[in-house]
Chains A and B, each alone.
Chain A
Amino acid sequence: MLDTLESWFTELVSWVHATLVSPAVYSLGLMSWSEWAYDATAFFVGGVLLVAFTTLVCLPLEQWRPVEPGRTLTADVRTDIGYTLITKLGILPLFTFAALYWLLRPVEGWARLHGFAPFSLEDAWPALATTPGVSLLFYVLVLDFTEYWRHRWQHRIEWWWQLHAVHHSQQQMTFWTDDRVHLLDDLIAALWMAAVALTIGMPPEQFPLVFAVLRFMESLSHANLRWNFGPLKRLLISPQFHRVHHGIGVGHEGRRYGVNFGVTFSVWDQLFRTADFRDEYPATGIRDQLDGRNYGHGFWETQWLGFIRLAQSLGTLLGRSSSRPSAR
């Protein structure tokens, strides 16, 4: 079954690449990027399928048991749809890839030329390189663990919160909200991932389907859906658990700026005492939105206001203006 799906996917990507992408890359004289263009094609086609699958599953669920009925295609939700499309179809990853490529490759090249080689956990633990299951489980857990801490610091560090507030400013949360992220926050996430890769090695690439499932789970956790996964909530992040994290007055104010920071597994929150399994579905957003503060509505406005807030926060940090307390 999985082999058949993978075979269809390969045929589809190959057809798109051979028919449209490869001739274009050749005509533009960019053959040095031909392998990368193939990967980008696979990312795009995979993204289209992932968005289609996520919509087909999450939309009926949101209709079936919505937390907030009748809010399916408002202007704010349309903004999130835009965020999802530019993220999952590769436009934002293209931006972060380009930034990282030009930033990091010369540094890495210089370091290697002078004898530095990154640590590879496989050297110490060869089973990682030869046992697919162990390797997959290890990287999924480590990446989820590092994402938990990145997310905690997004809430804890003032200037970082001002960027992350773009994500939290959605008051009509749906499964599309997962990708509503500031561009700079995305870039920081990519740098974070590069640092993790340098520390523990790169995650294996032989499990794209598993990583697609994880992305789907992240979207589902943002769904406008009354569901707590029953006993599985102790293992996985449910829509209720993550809604509490987005809840005004709950998810990003108390216990030193929040609860329920996990991305895929809820075990880290339980382990580090940030889990809140309350059986509620609070209203989402940021407290001062209730007083009329504007965090933006369209893509460009949310981005621009994010930059402004970042500048104000950094200004405060450097001891200049703005004593405005930060809302969370």
Chain B
Amino acid sequence: MTAITSPAPIAFACRVRRSLFRVLSTALLGCALLAASASNAMLPNEHAIVLNSGDGTVSLIDRATRKVVKTFPVGKEPHHLIGTLKDDEVVVANAVSNDLVFLDPVSGEVKRRLPRISDPYQLAYSPDGKWFISISLRLNRVDLYSMPNYELKARIPAAKTPSHVVFSSDSRMAYVTMQDSNELLAIDITTQKEAWRMPIGKTPAGIWLSPQGLIFVGIMSSDYVEVIDPVKRATVKKIVTGKGAHNVFPMGNGSKILVSNRVDGTITPVDYKTLVAEKPIKVGSGVDCMDISEDGKEVWATVRFEGRVAVIDMTGQKPIHYIPVGRSPHGIYFRSHARRDQ
């Protein structure tokens, strides 16, 4: 007679339970992944972080529900924000407060504040992690800091009106658009001095460096993106995108960038290999910074002069949602973003 206390049936029952658990957990995981892919693979409780430069506040938007869940003061005139190289913090540049504020990249909560950073407007980390640049647009200066302690190494005069910055992939050069002298400025990081500058289109703003080594600059007083070969120090092409071409963001798919055109209120996809522009997408007045979902299906863009964020469906090529935020929303970031380098 088999006793009911015999280990065999218990082991069998356990095996059945384990199998059931495995099946169920696989099914649940599958469902979760499916749900995640439908919502652009965002993290749980992920927030889009938006800087309202006119209000001096941050708006946190729940990425899933697309609703503002919190607005809090962050400093005076916050314009740009970037993720650190590991994306473990988001750095907000408060131009008038003269400080940096570090936020949690997922929740957007304030982690710490770094004072005595003079007039920070736009920021960049070098790819090798050794350098940090803060652009002083208002006061004609580029500040170079060594990492990891944000130690000021050089204040480089940069008239007139340095605007946006990008590092070369080998971290040896930094390229800065000069909004009021209509130039591209190259800074040698080794000597910590200006290396050269070349004339480009009127009122250059956003800048991005392609894996092919070409620089793309939004020309705000015109309607094109200027493509520059920094080795030859020559303009390769002017790609017409729309009036008030301003900022340039890669889609992370190895082929396209998105250009915001402030005056036309559009975003134009451009193939950065063939240098051909596609049809612009109407977004709103003063469209500026963007972040792009990991799968490239959604673009979130600040629409500065309308005080809102546009969510653009890149499959249907149109805005599908507008989220009211504060005055003059400028920088925007979310953690599950597309790659910035391609």
The chain A residues found within 8 Å of chain B, CB to CB, are: 7, 10-11, 13-14, 17-18, 22-23, 26, 29-32, 34-35, 38-39, 105, 108-109, 112-113, 117-118, 120, 122-123, 126, 129-132, 135, 201-202, 204-206
User: Is B180 in the interface zone, CB < 8 Å from A?
Assistant: yes
CB-based contact A130/B72 at 8 Å: yes
User: Given that A26-B243, A32-B203, A38-B286 are contacting pairs, would A206 and B220 also be in contact in the complex, using a CB cutoff of 8 Å?
Assistant: no
A14 to B72, CA, bound (A): 24
Q: Which applies to chain B's interface (DSSP): helix, strand, loop or mixed?
A: loop
Q: Nearest 4 pairs between A and B by C-beta?
A: A18-B285, A109-B139, A206-B55, A31-B220
CB-based contact B56/A26 at 8 Å: no
Residues on A with C-beta less than 8 A from B286 are: 17-18, 22, 34, 38
- For A116, the closest partner residue in chain B by CB is B118
Residues on A with C-beta less than 8 A from B203 are: 29, 31-32
Interfacial residues of chain B within 259-283, with CB under 8 A of chain A in the complex: 262-263, 265
User: Is B119 in the interface zone, CB < 8 Å from A?
Assistant: yes
User: Given that A7-B324, A130-B72 are contacting pairs, would A120 and B305 also be in contact in the complex, using a CB cutoff of 8 Å?
Assistant: no
19 examples of A-B residue contacts, CB within 8 angstroms: A10-B327, A14-B305, A22-B244, A26-B243, A31-B202, A31-B244, A32-B179, A34-B244, A34-B262, A34-B286, A35-B304, A105-B138, A105-B139, A109-B139, A112-B118, A112-B155, A120-B115, A201-B97, A204-B73
Residues on A with C-beta less than 8 A from B305 are: 13-14, 17-18, 22, 38
A117 to B304, CA, bound (A): 29
A206 to B265, CA, bound (A): 25
The chain B residues found within 8 Å of chain A, CB to CB, are: 54-57, 72-77, 96-99, 110, 113, 115-116, 118-119, 136, 138-141, 155, 157, 161, 179-180, 202-203, 220-221, 243-244, 262-263, 265, 285-286, 304-307, 324, 326-328
CB-based contact A26/B98 at 8 Å: no
Q: How far is the CB of B281 from chain A (nearest CB, A)?
A: 17
CB-based contact B55/A205 at 8 Å: yes
- For A205, the closest partner residue in chain B by CB is B56
- For B220, the closest partner residue in chain A by CB is A31
- For B243, the closest partner residue in chain A by CB is A26
- From A39, A123, A131, B115 is in contact (CB under 8 Å) with A123
- For B182, the closest partner residue in chain A by CB is A32
CB-based contact B220/A34 at 8 Å: yes
- For B152, the closest partner residue in chain A by CB is A115
- From B73, B180, B243, B307, A130 is in contact (CB under 8 Å) with B73
CB-based contact B263/A22 at 8 Å: yes
Residues on B with C-beta less than 8 A from A30 are: 221
CB-based contact B221/A112 at 8 Å: no
User: Given that A22-B305, A112-B136 are contacting pairs, would A129 and B73 also be in contact in the complex, using a CB cutoff of 8 Å?
Assistant: yes
Residues on B with C-beta less than 8 A from A131 are: 73
Residues on A with C-beta less than 8 A from B139 are: 105, 108-109, 112-113
CB-based contact B202/A29 at 8 Å: yes
CB-based contact A113/B55 at 8 Å: no
A23 to B305, CA, bound (A): 13
A118 to B97, CA, bound (A): 9
A130 to B221, CA, bound (A): 37
- For A110, the closest partner residue in chain B by CB is B139
CB-based contact B54/A205 at 8 Å: yes
Residues on A with C-beta less than 8 A from B307 are: 10, 14
- For A128, the closest partner residue in chain B by CB is B73
- From B98, B179, B262, B306, A120 is in contact (CB under 8 Å) with B98
CB-based contact B56/A32 at 8 Å: no
- For B157, the closest partner residue in chain A by CB is A113
A324 to B95, CA, bound (A): 50
CB-based contact B76/A202 at 8 Å: yes
- For B180, the closest partner residue in chain A by CB is A32
A298 to B119, CA, bound (A): 43
Q: How far is the CB of A15 from chain B (nearest CB, A)?
A: 9
CB-based contact A126/B328 at 8 Å: no
A63 to B244, CA, bound (A): 51
A269 to B244, CA, bound (A): 52
Residues on B with C-beta less than 8 A from A32 are: 161, 179-180, 203, 220-221
- For B53, the closest partner residue in chain A by CB is A35
CB-based contact B73/A132 at 8 Å: yes
Residues on A with C-beta less than 8 A from B304 are: 35, 38
A122 to B286, CA, bound (A): 31
Q: How far is the CB of B158 from chain A (nearest CB, A)?
A: 10
- For A117, the closest partner residue in chain B by CB is B118
Residues on B with C-beta less than 8 A from A109 are: 138-141
Residues on A with C-beta less than 8 A from B244 are: 22, 26, 31, 34
A126 to B155, CA, bound (A): 27
Residues on B with C-beta less than 8 A from A202 are: 76, 96
CB-based contact A29/B221 at 8 Å: yes
A22 to B119, CA, bound (A): 27
